């Protein structure tokens, strides 16, 4: 089935004028161009008409927030970037985007901040003009800075009415000791509350990280390399290189299992998260790809555990797993929401047994082929619009600066054997790398202040 | 890899022989997308059975068929990375999903058996009923103050109306729901008369006819359209405070509007709405005044169509068509001490819009924005298909072309006329989810000045306007406080 799909994709890509080699999962032709200032442009002609997606990927996320008291700044910058420049104050920037019929937004993760706009192709130059300007000349007065910090607090407040968010916050804080993955992208709440006092630091942050060598521009859709490159050179070519290098603290090996408990003030079902330290993203070394397979095998809708906990015993209504790609070693996490508090221990035991099963014997070869098939069809089904193509691309170019890493990663999946999956499970699912976080409803007591 | 279908390929056919409506958009795409839609939904829930439509659809999409148990369906769909999802609104129920053409036969075989030959297993029913109850108790009440406020607003506006309960139902009704209730709902509503078969992508020749023939097994049914009474608008300002121990204060407000997408005046009102509060965009006027200028919260938007799950997505889902819609303002959570100020600020801006209309410049820029933005709404083939079905439902031509043409013809007077005719800063319902509801109730009733504390100096004109905002008269007819655990309970 995989082979058939690969052949089909080749035919489809050729039909779109591509020169991709057989067997590659990414179905569109792409080019990469490096400007003298270190900025990289990735251009993908999707063959879909009229629309262009611009994704500007800055390789700075909460991982880069190395100074105590300054968590959440990468995300704050995602907001400040909409505060404008002298030439294009925010209302002028808005007017240009509005004239392009653009959908614009941005997001921040542990490893990157991504600014995106999807718009009509005839507006490419005007959009690149205002985008080039704000990445080089962002200027926000202290008053505007302080106002924006309150919007960020508003976002924190919005997010943390959700217990899953709170649980993840506790999980990261417990699992990590030194690495900046200890805090979430939103940052520690005390740092968010202190943001209005950090105007000077914000200028320093921009100066350090918003630099061309730290940025990749993805242009996808109804656009060709020549046009895109000429415009990007014109609008981003004068951007000056930076020199700052962050010393991201390495996480020391975890030596013992950890647990943490979160009390939730309003009624909710208990949630249990069982997490292990996991390797960084890689498109050559097998470990992180093997753990992706393990995630599907043991914890997806197609797993024995899901069938038992969700469909048969009906003890759990949410079972989800996460082995998200990160620049540095992160976490492999399984989360279950338990319908009846008395079942929490049993659910936790069953999750641990599913981890143990991955360690104890190689997975069935036919099951492995099912997971590989799932991964490839999932990818193919996702390539259904210019915006989705660019959205899929952005995390990968954030990790390795080239779309080729997608092809390499999926080729790696294709080579994995049941023994590889077991070896990765034995290496990472060890008790000294484990963190278990639980959340349950506990009404706050009244009349006491501490 | 993907080809957009040319508009000329749009085929809207009513197959008289089978009485089945079909909307097909054939293309060269290697993906095939289904939207199997029934013109029925929560508005057709039997008396005392709110949630019947939604739970019936869940039994079909997340339960087994007679031949294949649910775990085997999950297992069969996994290697092809496909899924079958359902969406139930007041007047529409849709089952949708996509498959790679390699797997069309396998996928369609499952889809057909799930929709035409449901398994009605007791254990699926128990699981899905619990999921629905937990959705209300845990997801809405517990985890999502914003969606809670929005759904409570609809419930309040449509009290005593077929739209008057959330589509998921109520906890008490769900607890008493039986499998026989769902089977009865299925028999009465899953009929050829209600069915629209939507199909797009690179499906082979003769495939659409095969699907139509298969679905002809459904009972004919009678074309029946539920009578919808006119909703009664609130008198003055009618405020409901949902008390919940939560960090921030979420506010939604709105009133029924007598037009929908089929009305010639709808594009004019769309321009007004986009200007006031384009969804999740920093270009809207409310966003500018409340968030950008004052830092009150994360965003502030306006709507003239139902748009659930807006906190998770940028584009609305298609197939939520309703004959009756409301105008709505969504104020994202604010710090509790700013709740009153934010409430007044939204009303103040709405009042200003109604009194002054929008400027020529704002009209032109918003019109230009919408003329291009409409292309983004229909980027995927599933969205194109969904919009095509909705356009047919509303009796308008293909959506993108229709809207662009209508926008090109609009004048500033059309927009300001629609604003004056359909929008008003009074006779509206307000829902607030907040922790100290009694204090807010007192503040609303006292009419005392509302203030906002800033972390940075503000220009004089903002401070002057703050006084007007803070003293904006709240002409209130009622304020009540309800504990969160009673919402959607009965």
- Could you report the predicted ipTM of this complex, rounded to two decimals? 0.89
d(C-alpha B134, C-alpha B190), whole Å: 26
d(C-alpha A41, C-alpha B100), whole Å: 31
Reported as a single tens digit per residue, the pLDDT across B151-207 is 999 999 999 999 999 999 999 999 999 999 999 999 999 999 999 999 999 999 999
* A447 has pLDDT over 60: no
d(C-alpha A355, C-alpha B55), whole Å: 34
Residue A302 domain flag: yes
pLDDT grade for B14, boundaries at 50, 70 and 90? very low
Residue whose entry in the numeric block shows the structure tokens 């008409």 = A49
Q: Give the torsion through C-alpha atoms of B300, A210, A204, A240, to 10 deg.
A: -140
Task: Please indicate whether, in this complex, the C-beta atoms of A384 and B292 are within 8 angstroms of each other.
Answer: no
B-chain residues near A155 (CB < 8 A): 298
Which range is least confidently modeled, A9-23, A82-96, A260-274, B69-83? A9-23
Q: Are residues A222 and A314 in the same domain?
A: no
Residue A149 domain flag: yes
Reported as a single tens digit per residue, the pLDDT across A330-387 is 999 999 999 999 999 999 999 999 999 999 999 999 999 999 999 999 999 999 899 9
A-chain residues near B294 (CB < 8 A): 147
B-chain residues near A267 (CB < 8 A): 137-138, 141-142, 485
d(C-alpha B426, C-alpha B104), whole Å: 53
Q: Are residues A305 and A188 in the same domain?
A: no
Of A170, A201, A236, the residue that ends a domain is A236
Mean pLDDT of A88-115: 94
Res A82: pLDDT: 87
* B222 has pLDDT over 70: yes
CATH for A180: 3.30.830.10
Question: Which of the four CATH numbers 3.30.450.40, 3.30.70.100, 3.40.50.2020, 3.30.830.10 does domain B237-486 have?
Answer: 3.30.830.10
Average pLDDT, chain B: 94
CB B69 within 8 A of CB B119: yes
Residue A244 domain flag: no
B-chain residues near A101 (CB < 8 A): 368-376
Task: Please indicate whether, in this complex, the C-beta atoms of A143 and B246 are within 8 angstroms of each other.
Answer: no
Residues 6 or more apart whose CB falls under 8 angstroms from that of A226 comprise none
Res B7: pLDDT: 33
B126, HSE (Cβ side, Cα atoms, 13 Å): 11
Judged by a CB distance cut-off of 8 A, whether residue B355 touches chain A is no
Of A170, A202, A236, the residue that ends a domain is A236
Mean pLDDT of A216-229: 97
Residue A388 domain flag: no
Q: Are residues A188 and A274 in the same domain?
A: no
- Domain residues for the domain of A427 are 258-362+417-441
- Stretch 114-173 of chain B: residues touching chain A, C-beta under 8 Å: 123, 126-127, 130-131, 134, 137-138, 141-146
Res A160: pLDDT: 73
* A324 has pLDDT over 50: yes
Give the three-state DSSP class for A16: coil
Domain B7-215 is found in CATH 3.30.70.2860: no
Tokens encoding A222: 């109804």
Q: Are residues A185 and A133 in the same domain?
A: yes
Task: Please indicate whether, in this complex, the C-beta atoms of B75 and A302 are within 8 angstroms of each other.
Answer: yes
Q: Are residues A287 and A325 in the same domain?
A: yes
**Could you report how far apart the first and last alpha carbons of chain A are, in Å?**
61
* A56 has pLDDT over 70: yes
Distance between alpha carbon A403 and the CA centroid of its chain, in Å?
Answer: 16
d(C-alpha A295, C-alpha A303), whole Å: 9
Reported as a single tens digit per residue, the pLDDT across A121-131 is 999 999 999 99
Res A156: pLDDT: 83
Task: Please indicate whether, in this complex, the C-beta atoms of A150 and B485 are within 8 angstroms of each other.
Answer: no
Q: Are residues A50 and A158 in the same domain?
A: yes
Reported as a single tens digit per residue, the pLDDT across A382-401 is 998 999 999 999 999 999 99
Judged by a CB distance cut-off of 8 A, whether residue B309 touches chain A is no
Reported as a single tens digit per residue, the pLDDT across B247-271 is 899 999 999 999 999 999 999 999 9
Res B82: pLDDT: 96
Mean pLDDT of A216-226: 97
Task: Please indicate whether, in this complex, the C-beta atoms of A100 and B372 are within 8 angstroms of each other.
Answer: yes
Task: Please indicate whether, in this complex, the C-beta atoms of A147 and B247 are within 8 angstroms of each other.
Answer: no
Res A444: pLDDT: 59
* A14 has pLDDT over 50: no
Residue of B279, B456, B489 to mutate, testing the A interface (most A Cβ within 10 Å of its Cβ): B456
Reported as a single tens digit per residue, the pLDDT across B448-467 is 999 998 878 889 999 999 99
Which range is least confidently modeled, A205-214, B16-25, B42-51, B108-117? B16-25
Domain count, chain A: 2
B71, HSE (Cβ side, Cα atoms, 13 Å): 14
Q: Which of B332, B344, B355 is nearest to B237 (CA)?
A: B344
d(C-alpha B316, C-alpha A386), whole Å: 18
* B16 has pLDDT over 60: no
B-chain residues near A266 (CB < 8 A): 142, 244-246, 484
Judged by a CB distance cut-off of 8 A, whether residue B421 touches chain A is no
* B334 has pLDDT over 90: yes
Residue whose entry in the numeric block shows the structure tokens 């089945």 = B20
Instruction: Name which of A196, A381, A384 is nearest B81 (Cβ-Cβ).
Output: A381
Judged by a CB distance cut-off of 8 A, whether residue B247 touches chain A is yes
From the CA of B400, how many Å to the nearest CA of chain A?
13
Judged by a CB distance cut-off of 8 A, whether residue A374 touches chain B is yes
Mean pLDDT of B23-30: 93
Res A20: pLDDT: 42
Residue of B80, B361, B376 to mutate, testing the A interface (most A Cβ within 10 Å of its Cβ): B376
pLDDT grade for A153, boundaries at 50, 70 and 90? confident
Q: Are residues A216 and A321 in the same domain?
A: no
From the CA of A383, how many Å to the nearest CA of chain B?
8
Residue A299 domain flag: yes
B304-339 b/e (C-beta count within 10 Å ≥ 16 → b): bbbbbebbeeebbbbbbbbbbbbbbbbbbbbbbebb
Res A221: pLDDT: 96
Return residue ranges of chain B for CATH 3.30.830.10.
7-215, 237-486
Res A9: pLDDT: 31
Q: Are residues A68 and A115 in the same domain?
A: yes
Of A236, A269, A287, the residue that ends a domain is A236
d(C-alpha A178, C-alpha A158), whole Å: 28
Computed on alpha carbons and rounded to an integer, the radius of gyration of chain B in Å comes to 24
CB B415 within 8 A of CB B406: no
Tokens encoding A31: 């080019």
Tokens encoding A426: 């034995």
Q: Are residues A127 and A172 in the same domain?
A: yes
Tokens encoding B296: 């009150």
Distances, alpha carbon A420 to alpha carbons A285, A368, A417, B326, in Å? 11, 11, 5, 56
CB B88 within 8 A of CB B161: no
Judged by a CB distance cut-off of 8 A, whether residue A189 touches chain B is no
A-chain residues near B380 (CB < 8 A): 384-385, 388
CB atoms within 10 A of CB A305: 23
d(C-alpha A268, C-alpha A191), whole Å: 27
pLDDT grade for A172, boundaries at 50, 70 and 90? very high
Judged by a CB distance cut-off of 8 A, whether residue A255 touches chain B is no
Reported as a single tens digit per residue, the pLDDT across B268-291 is 999 999 999 999 998 899 999 999
Residue A371 domain flag: no
Q: Are residues A264 and A230 in the same domain?
A: no
d(C-alpha B57, C-alpha B134), whole Å: 17
* A3 has pLDDT over 80: no
Q: Are residues A219 and A313 in the same domain?
A: no
CB atoms within 10 A of CB A21: 9
The whole-model pTM stands at 0.91
Q: Which residue has the higher pLDDT, B249 or A12?
A: B249
Q: Are residues A101 and A230 in the same domain?
A: yes
Give the three-state DSSP class for B90: coil
From the CA of B399, how many Å to the nearest CA of chain A?
16
pLDDT grade for A22, boundaries at 50, 70 and 90? low
């Amino acid at each position: 089935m995989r082979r058939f799909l690969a052949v089909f994709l080749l035919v489809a890509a050729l039909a779109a004028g591509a020169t991709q080699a057989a067997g590659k999962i990414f179905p569109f032709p792409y080019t990469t161009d490096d400007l003298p200032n270190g900025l990289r442009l990735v251009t993908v002609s999707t063959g879909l008409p009229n629309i262009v997606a611009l994704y500007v990927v800055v390789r700075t996320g909460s991982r880069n927030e190395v100074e105590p008291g300054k968590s959440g700044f990468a995300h704050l910058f995602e907001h400040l970037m909409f505060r404008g420049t002298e030439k294009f104050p925010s209302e002028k920037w808005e007017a240009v985007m509005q004239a392009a019929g653009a959908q614009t937004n941005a997001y921040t993760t542990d490893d990157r901040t991504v600014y995106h706009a999807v718009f009509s192709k005839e507006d490419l130059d005007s959009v690149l003009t205002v985008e080039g300007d704000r990445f080089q000349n962002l200027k926000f007065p202290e008053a505007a800075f302080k106002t924006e910090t309150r919007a960020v607090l508003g976002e924190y407040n919005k997010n943390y009415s959700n217990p899953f968010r709170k649980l993840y916050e506790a999980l990261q804080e417990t699992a990590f000791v030194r690495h900046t993955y200890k805090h979430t992208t939103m940052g520690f709440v005390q740092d968010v509350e202190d943001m209005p006092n950090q105007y000077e630091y914000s200028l320093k942050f921009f100066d350090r990280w918003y630099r061309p060598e730290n940025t990749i521009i993805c242009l996808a859709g109804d656009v060709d390399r020549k046009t895109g490159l000429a415009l990007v050179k014109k609008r981003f070519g004068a951007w000056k290189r930076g020199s700052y290098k962050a010393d991201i603290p390495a996480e020391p090996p975890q030596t013992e299992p950890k647990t943490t408990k979160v009390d939730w003030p309003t009624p909710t079902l208990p949630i249990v998260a069982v997490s292990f330290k996991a390797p960084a993203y890689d498109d050559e070394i097998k470990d992180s790809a093997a753990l992706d397979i393990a995630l599907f095998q043991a914890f997806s809708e197609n797993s024995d555990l899901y069938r038992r906990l969700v469909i048969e015993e009906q003890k759990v209504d949410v079972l989800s797993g996460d082995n998200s790609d990160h620049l540095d070693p992160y976490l492999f996490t399984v989360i279950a929401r338990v319908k009846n508090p008395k079942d929490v221990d049993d659910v936790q035991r069953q999750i641990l047994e599913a981890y143990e099963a991955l360690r104890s014997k190689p997975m069935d070869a036919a099951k492995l082929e099912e997971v590989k098939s799932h991964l490839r069809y999932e990818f193919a089904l996702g390539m259904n619009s210019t915006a989705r193509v660019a959205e899929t691309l952005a995390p990968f170019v954030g990790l390795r600066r080239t779309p080729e890493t997608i092809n390499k990663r999926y080729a790696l999946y294709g080579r994995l054997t049941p023994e590889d999956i077991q070896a990765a499970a034995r290496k990472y699912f060890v008790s000294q790398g484990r963190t278990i976080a639980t959340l349950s409803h506990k009404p706050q007591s009244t009349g006491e202040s501490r | 890899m993907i080809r957009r279908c040319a508009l000329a390929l749009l085929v809207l056919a009513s197959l008289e022989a089978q009485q089945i409506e079909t909307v097909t958009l054939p293309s060269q795409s290697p993906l095939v997308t289904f939207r199997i839609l029934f013109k029925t939904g929560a508005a057709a829930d039997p008396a005392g059975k709110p949630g019947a439509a939604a739970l019936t659809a869940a039994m079909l999409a997340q339960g087994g068929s007679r031949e294949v148990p649910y775990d085997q369906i999950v297992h069969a769909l996994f290697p092809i990375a496909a899924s079958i999802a359902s969406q139930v609104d007041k007047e529409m129920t849709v089952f949708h999903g996509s498959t790679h053409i390699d797997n069309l036969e396998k996928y369609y075989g499952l889809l057909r058996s799930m929709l035409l030959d449901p398994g009605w297993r007791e254990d699926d029913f128990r699981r899905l009923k619990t999921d629905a109850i937990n959705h209300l108790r845990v997801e809405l009440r517990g985890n999502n103050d914003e969606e809670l406020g929005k759904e409570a607003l609809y419930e309040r506006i449509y009290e005593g109306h077929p739209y008057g309960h959330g589509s998921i139902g109520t906890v008490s009704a769900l607890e008493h729901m039986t499998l026989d209730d769902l089977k009865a709902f299925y028999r009465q509503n899953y009929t050829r008369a209600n069915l629209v078969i939507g199909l797009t992508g690179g499906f082979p020749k003769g495939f659409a006819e095969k699907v139509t023939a298969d679905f002809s097994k459904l009972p004919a049914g009678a074309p029946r359209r539920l009578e919808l009474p006119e909703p009664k608008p609130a008198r003055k300002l009618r405020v409901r405070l949902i008390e919940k121990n939560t960090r921030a204060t979420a506010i939604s407000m709105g009133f029924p509007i007598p037009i929908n997408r089929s009305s010639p005046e709808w594009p004019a009102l769309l321009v007004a709405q986009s200007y006031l509060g384009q969804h999740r965009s920093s270009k809207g006027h409310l966003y500018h005044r409340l968030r950008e200028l004052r830092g009150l919260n994360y965003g502030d938007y306006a709507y003239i169509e139902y748009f659930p799950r807006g906190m998770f997505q940028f584009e609305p889902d298609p197939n939520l068509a309703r004959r009756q819609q409301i105008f709505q303002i969504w104020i994202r959570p604010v710090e509790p001490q700013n709740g009153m100020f934010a409430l007044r600020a939204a009303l103040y801006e709405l009042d200003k819009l109604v009194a002054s209309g929008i400027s020529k410049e704002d009209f032109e820029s918003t019109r230009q924005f919408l003329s291009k933005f409409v292309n983004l709404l229909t980027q995927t083939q599933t969205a194109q298909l969904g919009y095509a079905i909705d356009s047919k439902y509303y009796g308008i031509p293909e959506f993108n072309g229709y809207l662009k043409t209508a926008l090109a013809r609009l004048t500033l007077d059309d927009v300001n006329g629609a604003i004056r005719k359909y929008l008003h800063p009074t006779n509206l319902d307000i829902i607030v989810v907040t922790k100290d509801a009694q204090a807010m109730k007192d503040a609303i009733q006292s009419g005392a000045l509302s203030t906002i504390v800033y972390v940075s100096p503000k220009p004089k004109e903002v401070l002057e306007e703050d006084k007007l905002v803070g003293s904006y008269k709240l002409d209130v007819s009622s304020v009540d406080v309800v504990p969160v655990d009673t919402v959607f309970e009965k």
